[in-house]
Structure 1
Amino acid sequence: MAMWIQAQQLQGEALHQMQALYGQHFPIEVRHYLAQWIESQLWDSVELDNPAEETKAKRLLDNLVTELQRKAQLQGGEDGFLLKIKLGHYASQLKSTYDRCPLELVRCIKHILHSEQRLVQEATNASCGSGGQAMDTLSQRHQQINQAFEELRLATQETENELRKLQHSQEYFIIQYQENLRIQAQLSSLSSLPPAERTQRETTLQSKRATVEAWLTREASTLQKYRLNLSEQHQKTLGLLRKQQTLILDEELIQWKRRQQLAGNGGPHEGGLDVLQSWCEKLADLIWQNRQQIRRCEHLTQQLPLPGPMEELLSKLNSDITDIISALVTSTFIIEKQPPQVLKTQTKFAATVRLLVGGKLNVHMNPPQVKAVIVSEQQAKALLKNESTHSESSGEILNNNCVMEYHQATGTLSAHFRNMSLKRIKRSDRRGAESVTEEKFTVLFESQFSVGGNELVFHVKTLSLPVVVIVHGSQDNNATATVLWDNAFAEPGRVPFIVPDKVLWPQLCEALDMKYKAEMHSGRGLSEDNLVFLAQKAFTSSSNNPEDYHNMTISWAQFNRESLPGRNFTFWQWFDGVVELMKKHLKPHWNDGAILGFVNKQQAQDMLLSKPNGTFLLRFSDSEIGGITIAWVAENPNKPGERLVWNLLPYTTKDFSIRSLADRISDLNHLLFLYPDRPKDEVFAKYYTPPLSKAVDGYVKPQIKQVVPEFTTPNPEPSGGTSTFMDQTASPSVSHPNNFGVYPSIMLDPDGDFDLEDTMDVARHVEELLRRPLANQWSSQQS
């Protein structure tokens, strides 16, 4: 209800805009009397493009109707009688309007709430500015645009007034002209009169004709001057319209598209489209009003031709304003929801296109159809250069036609492609070392719009963000690299789809941090130390000074074409493996600050040796994609008094699908403090799996646990005579391999990382143990 209270405080144009949100589709009285209920509902949880969400939307509609009916019944007394009838009427009206399309109700209310929030925020920013505080850049820019619209409105109103004056003057001129013709006719008829009478009448009529002709001469000059002045005013208005349109389309809309592109890398979601639509609709209104005025001027000129350059001037004005409206229509045909940029064949995908001026120009009166085709980079270049008039395709998209629908509640004209699928793709010859995951395509959406009752017809096209087509999930990693590089470093207005081959390291850091924060769903991104670690990995450097990397450049080949020294994977493949591991299994631990992650083996050793025994930290594996290891400090069992840093065999996604990180840390009793000095239970206890329940129907459920042989302590006999099944994952030893019965020990390789050939994979080990009869396992352990 807080939002509605603030919305009621709006004034001037903001209040007018707020009131305009309501109407028969959703009465403002419903918003007022159900304010608290409306603002407490989870409208944003409903996916409008998903038909499966219709049940949820229907439930919200039914609840809204019920609330209205309940509110109506609570009204009593003489004053409440009319309100009771009105609220009951609204309940029936909303039920009948949205019962067959409940998603439209959700769309309507979401639009209203978001618009109210925007208006309140803008009013708050403006009031802060008036109080002496500087308004932010966004508010200043919006204020500039709104002021320009007011100037345009006044200019258009002025030319409308002048046009009416011209029309009235011209109508009076025509009347006087007809009067002059009547006098001439009378003079011609005087020949039949007697000479005396004819002379007297002729003198009178000729005097009258001279007066009228003198007036007509003066008035013709005045009319011509009016016309020229009006055309000059129209030229000025058109100049203002061009300037405003350039600001909105070439700056604001381009910035929105850029934010949309960065959202593909995890940047903030591209909001503000409703604001852009409101501006574009105002432009469409003003352009169309001026176009109608110019056409009326043309009609007046044709009705009363006068000597002078008016025909040429009006023809030029008409041509100019048609160009302006053409640019507006073609530029505001945009992709609201982009298709996935990594597009797998034979997989369903969706997209939404929208015309930001559709409602104002009545395009929806003849609903246009939109077609989607996939084109190559070369075909996209040809289209933008107008070298290709017909749309060649590089593949086949199923369900690629959709009719645009007008949603009256929100005033949007859009087409929702919900069930497209790329059946096949035709690839071009690749250049040099380029792989299939570096080849870029784009989805082309095209349609034809009729404006002004087929008076103007526009063929419109818009290209999606670059798309990388894959046929198997194993290609996803490299395809994502291509998309991330393109989204981060594409220049506005580029030739499709050129990106720099090299970028400054800080630029890549910004892109990686954006991606990482988005996947973690938190504000904790990559610290300066993390970025130094990544720089050391990317450039094979040992410098710990961030300044040393600020002016360094990294190439696409270094990023994801050339393998890291001594490894069989690239820098991006390693980083993406970390992201996937964290996203799927370790997100809460990263957000809790429990994972240092970006620490190499030597750094971990230096950090831990200064801490008490049992202190441990979590770092990402250097040798395995998507691996994380536990490093801890403890006594050397072979040399009393000597302390060593131990590194556990790295865990991967497969390991955490068997047992979580928190439970694995809980299993290892020798791990006491998370670096630097936090008791491990304080950090991880909330994530421990609750103890297993007791036996059911005579069966005991086996329990998987891990042990490190060198640090294993005897477990007490469980109560109730049952036994706990223990699974040991892996333990590193230093230079003295020990065997503990069924537990294999793990040797470190010369670089200090594990050797896959000398270890048994955790999942295979567990699977092997679980295949044995439980009794045999127990007896073998007892022996």
Structure 2
Amino acid sequence: MAMWIQAQQLQGEALHQMQALYGQHFPIEVRHYLAQWIESQLWDSVELDNPAEETKAKHLLDNLVTELQRKAQLQGGEDGFLLKIKLGHYASQLKSTYDRCPLELVRCIKHILHSEQRLVQEATNASCGTGGQAMDTLSQRHQQINQAFEELRLATQETENELRKLQHSQEYFIIQYQENLRIQAQLSSLSSLPPAERTQRETTLQSKRATVEAWLTREASTLQKYRLNLSEQHQKTLGLLRKQQTLILDEELIQWKRRQQLAGNGGPHEGGLDVLQSWCEKLADLIWQNRQQIRRCEHLTQQLPLPGPMEELLSKLNSDITDIISALVTSTFIIEKQPPQVLKTQTKFAATVRLLVGGKLNVHMNPPQVKAVIVSEQQAKALLKNESTHSESSGEILNNNCVMEYHQATGTLSAHFRNMSLKRIKRSDRRGAESVTEEKFTVLFESQFSVGGNELVFHVKTLSLPVVVIVHGSQDNNATATVLWDNAFAEPGRVPFIVPDKVLWPQLCEALDMKYKAEMHSGRGLSEDNLVFLAQKAFTSSSNNPEDYHNMTISWAQFNRESLPGRNFTFWQWFDGVVELMKKHLKPHWNDGAILGFVNKQQAQDMLLSKPNGTFLLRFSDSEIGGITIAWVAENPNKPGERLVWNLLPYTTKDFSIRSLADRISDLNHLLFLYPDRPKDEVFAKYYTPPLSKAVDGYVKPQIKQVVPEFTTPNPEPSGGTSTFMDQTASPSVSHPNNFGVYPSMSDSMLDPDGDFDLEDTMDVARHVEELLRRPLANQWSSQQS
């Protein structure tokens, strides 16, 4: 209810905009009397483009009607009788209006609540500004636009008043002109009268004619002046309209599209589209009013031709304003919901296009159809250069036609493509080292419609963000790299789909941090130390000084074409592997600050050797994509008094699908403190799997448990005492063979403290296998039958 209380305090134009949100589709009385209930419902949890959500929307509608009926019944007394009748009527009205389309009710209320929130926020920012606090840039820009609209409204009203004066003056001129013709006719008829009478009447009529003709001469000059002044006023208004339209379309709308593109990398995509639509609708309304005024001027000029340049001036004004409205309509045909930028063939996908001025220009009276086709980079270039008038396709999209729908509650005209599927794709010849995952396509949406009773016909087109087409999930990683680079570094107005081949390292850091934060769903992104670690990996550098990397550039080839030194994967493939591992299994631990992650072996050793035995940390594997290892400090069992840092062979997604990280850490009793000095149970206990329950139906469920033989100490049985454990070490029959590989009593590099499974400097593979087979297995299976 807090929002409604604030909304009622709005004043001036903001109050008018708030009141305009309501009508027969949703009465303002319903908002008022059910304010608390309405604001407590989870309207945003309903996905409007998902038909399966209709049941949830129907439930909300039924509850709304029930609540309204209950509120009506509570009204009593003489004053409450009429309100009781009115609320009951509204309950029936809403039920009949939305019963067959409950999602439209949700759309309506979401639009109302978001619009109220925006209006209240803008009013709050404005009041802060008048109180001496600096108004933020966004509010200043919005205020500038709103002030310009007020100037345009006044200018349009002034030309309307002047046009009416002109019309009135011209009508009186025509009456006097007709009077002059009548006098001339009377003079012509005097020949039949006697000379004396004819002379007397002729003198009177000639005097009257002279007076009228003198007035007509003066008035004709005045009318011409009125017309010229009015055309100058229209020219000024058109100049203001162009300026305002440039500000909205070339700045605000472009910035919205840029935010939408960065949202593809995980950036915040703030709404703002409803605000843009309200501005575009105001523009359309003002442009159309001025166009109608100019056309009326043309009609008046044709009705009473006068010498002068008016015909040419009006023709130029008409042409100019037609260009303005054409630019507005074609620029406001936008993609509200982009298709996926990594698009897999034979997979369903969705998209939504919207015409921001559709409702204002009554386009919905004859709903246009929108068609979607996929085109190549070269075809997109030809379209933007107007070298191609017809839409050539580079593939076949199923369900690619959709009729635009008008939503009265929100005033939006949009087409929702819900079930498109790319059946096939035609690839072009690739250049040099370019792979299929570097080839960019785009989805072209096009439509045609008319406005003003077929006065103007528009053929509109809009291109989606670049799309990389894949046929197998294994291509997703490299395709995502292409999309991330394009989203991060594309310039507005570029030729499709040119991006720089090199960028400054801090620019890439910003993109990687944005992606990482989005996947972790938290504010904890990449620290400066993390970014230094990544720089060392990308540039094969040992410098720990962030300043050393500020002016360095990284190329696309370094990012995701050339493998890292000594590895068979690229920088991006390694980073993306980390992101996927964290997103699927370790997100809570990262957000808790339990994972350092971006630490190399030497750093881990230096950090741990200064800490007590049993201190450990978690770092990402250098040698394996999507791997994380535990490094800890402990005594060397073979050399008393010597302390070493050990690393488990890296865990991967497969390992964590068997047993979670927290449980694995709990299993290892020699791990005591998470670096620098936090007791491990304090950090991980809330994620431990609860102990198994007692036997059910006479059977005991076995449990997988991790051990490292040389560091194993007796473990107390969990409460209950009857559970049977399966201790798991490195048995290939149980898990990934790289799960556990730390054997500190051995000196070969397979069991090396650095934890990287590397056989190059040791005995051959056969000798390792032979050595392993001689060791006693640490896995024990036992079961108890009843």
Fold conserved (TM > 0.5)? Answer: yes
Q: Distance in 1 between matches of 2:734 and 2:357?
A: 71
Shift of 1:722: 3.5
Q: Distance in 2 between matches of 1:740 and 1:11?
A: 68
Worse-matched range after superposition: 83-92 or 542-551: 83-92
Residue 495 and residue 745 in structure 1: after superposition, are their counterparts in 2 closer, same or farther (change >3 A)?
A: farther
Shift of 1:741: 15
SS of the aligned residue for 1:632 comes to strand
Residue 137 and residue 514 in structure 1: after superposition, are their counterparts in 2 closer, same or farther (change >3 A)?
A: same
1:383-532 aligned at under 5 Å gives the runs: 383-532=383-532
- 8 A contact 1:344–1:469 mirrored in 2: yes
Per-residue CA distance 1:132-182 (angstroms, 9 max, x = gap) = 011010000000000000000000000000000000000000000000000
- 8 A contact 2:18–2:116 mirrored in 1: yes
Worse-matched range after superposition: 229-238 or 270-279: 270-279
Q: Distance in 2 between matches of 1:496 and 1:507?
A: 21
Shift of 1:728: 2.4
- 8 A contact 1:350–1:418 mirrored in 2: yes
Q: Distance in 1 between matches of 2:638 and 2:733?
A: 11
Per-residue CA distance 1:619-650 (angstroms, 9 max, x = gap) = 00000000000001111111111111110111
SS of the aligned residue for 1:642 comes to strand
- 8 A contact 1:732–1:745 mirrored in 2: no
SS of the aligned residue for 1:495 comes to coil
Residue 616 and residue 721 in structure 1: after superposition, are their counterparts in 2 closer, same or farther (change >3 A)?
A: closer
- 8 A contact 1:730–1:762 mirrored in 2: no
Residue 725 and residue 91 in structure 1: after superposition, are their counterparts in 2 closer, same or farther (change >3 A)?
A: same
SS of the aligned residue for 2:447 comes to strand
Residue 375 and residue 745 in structure 1: after superposition, are their counterparts in 2 closer, same or farther (change >3 A)?
A: farther
- 8 A contact 2:646–2:754 mirrored in 1: no
SS of the aligned residue for 1:372 comes to strand
Per-residue CA distance 1:168-210 (angstroms, 9 max, x = gap) = 0000000000000000000000011001100000000000000
Shift of 1:727: 2.8
SS of the aligned residue for 1:508 comes to helix
Shift of 1:745: 9.5
Residue 245 and residue 714 in structure 1: after superposition, are their counterparts in 2 closer, same or farther (change >3 A)?
A: same
Residue 70 and residue 720 in structure 1: after superposition, are their counterparts in 2 closer, same or farther (change >3 A)?
A: closer
Residue 756 and residue 233 in structure 1: after superposition, are their counterparts in 2 closer, same or farther (change >3 A)?
A: farther
Worse-matched range after superposition: 271-280 or 721-730: 721-730
Residue 130 and residue 723 in structure 1: after superposition, are their counterparts in 2 closer, same or farther (change >3 A)?
A: closer
SS of the aligned residue for 2:397 comes to strand
Q: Once the two structures are aligned, what percentage of the paired residues are identical?
A: 100
Residue 553 (str. 1) matches residue 568 (str. 2): no
Residue 612 and residue 733 in structure 1: after superposition, are their counterparts in 2 closer, same or farther (change >3 A)?
A: farther
Q: Distance in 1 between matches of 2:3 and 2:14?
A: 14
TM-score for the superposition, normalised by structure 1: 0.95
Shift of 1:78: 1.2
- 8 A contact 2:377–2:497 mirrored in 1: yes
Per-residue CA distance 1:664-710 (angstroms, 9 max, x = gap) = 11111111111111111111111111111111111110101101111
Q: Distance in 2 between matches of 1:766 and 1:55?
A: 60
- 8 A contact 2:440–2:467 mirrored in 1: yes
- 8 A contact 2:352–2:414 mirrored in 1: yes
- 8 A contact 2:651–2:739 mirrored in 1: no
Per-residue CA distance 1:727-755 (angstroms, 9 max, x = gap) = 32359999999999999999236965124
Residue 257 and residue 762 in structure 1: after superposition, are their counterparts in 2 closer, same or farther (change >3 A)?
A: farther
- 8 A contact 2:651–2:738 mirrored in 1: no
- 8 A contact 1:648–1:732 mirrored in 2: no
Per-residue CA distance 1:91-148 (angstroms, 9 max, x = gap) = 1000000000000000000000000000000001000000001101000000000000
Q: Distance in 2 between matches of 1:781 and 1:84?
A: 72
Shift of 1:77: 1.2
- 8 A contact 2:729–2:779 mirrored in 1: no
Residue 451 and residue 763 in structure 1: after superposition, are their counterparts in 2 closer, same or farther (change >3 A)?
A: farther
Structure 2 unaligned blocks of 5 or more = none
Shift of 1:717: 6.0
Residue 631 (str. 1) matches residue 634 (str. 2): no
Shift of 1:271: 1.3
Q: Distance in 2 between matches of 1:25 and 1:644?
A: 73
> 1:250 is matched with which residue?
250
> 2:102 is matched with which residue?
102
Per-residue CA distance 1:443-476 (angstroms, 9 max, x = gap) = 0000002111111000000000000000000000
- 8 A contact 1:594–1:683 mirrored in 2: yes
Q: Distance in 1 between matches of 2:327 and 2:615?
A: 66
Shift of 1:261: 0.1
- 8 A contact 2:648–2:740 mirrored in 1: no
Q: Distance in 2 between matches of 1:73 and 1:666?
A: 60
Shift of 1:329: 0.1
SS of the aligned residue for 1:160 comes to helix
Q: Distance in 1 between matches of 2:257 and 2:146?
A: 21
Residue 765 and residue 488 in structure 1: after superposition, are their counterparts in 2 closer, same or farther (change >3 A)?
A: farther
Residue 406 and residue 740 in structure 1: after superposition, are their counterparts in 2 closer, same or farther (change >3 A)?
A: closer
Q: Distance in 2 between matches of 1:687 and 1:579?
A: 20
Q: Distance in 1 between matches of 2:771 and 2:101?
A: 55
Q: How many residues align?
A: 783
- 8 A contact 2:727–2:780 mirrored in 1: no
Residue 346 and residue 771 in structure 1: after superposition, are their counterparts in 2 closer, same or farther (change >3 A)?
A: farther
Residue 482 and residue 103 in structure 1: after superposition, are their counterparts in 2 closer, same or farther (change >3 A)?
A: same
Per-residue CA distance 1:572-608 (angstroms, 9 max, x = gap) = 0000000000000000000000000000011001001
Residue 183 and residue 668 in structure 1: after superposition, are their counterparts in 2 closer, same or farther (change >3 A)?
A: same
Worse-matched range after superposition: 747-756 or 320-329: 747-756
Per-residue CA distance 1:421-464 (angstroms, 9 max, x = gap) = 00000000000000000000000000002111111000000000
Shift of 1:76: 1.1
Residue 485 and residue 738 in structure 1: after superposition, are their counterparts in 2 closer, same or farther (change >3 A)?
A: closer
Shift of 1:713: 1.2
Shift of 1:253: 0.2
Q: Distance in 1 between matches of 2:575 and 2:717?
A: 44
SS of the aligned residue for 2:739 comes to coil
SS of the aligned residue for 1:640 comes to strand
Q: Distance in 2 between matches of 1:768 and 1:401?
A: 66
- 8 A contact 2:397–2:420 mirrored in 1: yes
Q: Distance in 2 between matches of 1:384 and 1:265?
A: 25
Q: Distance in 2 between matches of 1:604 and 1:357?
A: 59
SS of the aligned residue for 1:726 comes to strand
> 1:685 is matched with which residue?
685
> 1:543 is matched with which residue?
543
TM-score for the superposition, normalised by structure 2: 0.95
Shift of 1:757: 11
Residue 186 and residue 580 in structure 1: after superposition, are their counterparts in 2 closer, same or farther (change >3 A)?
A: same
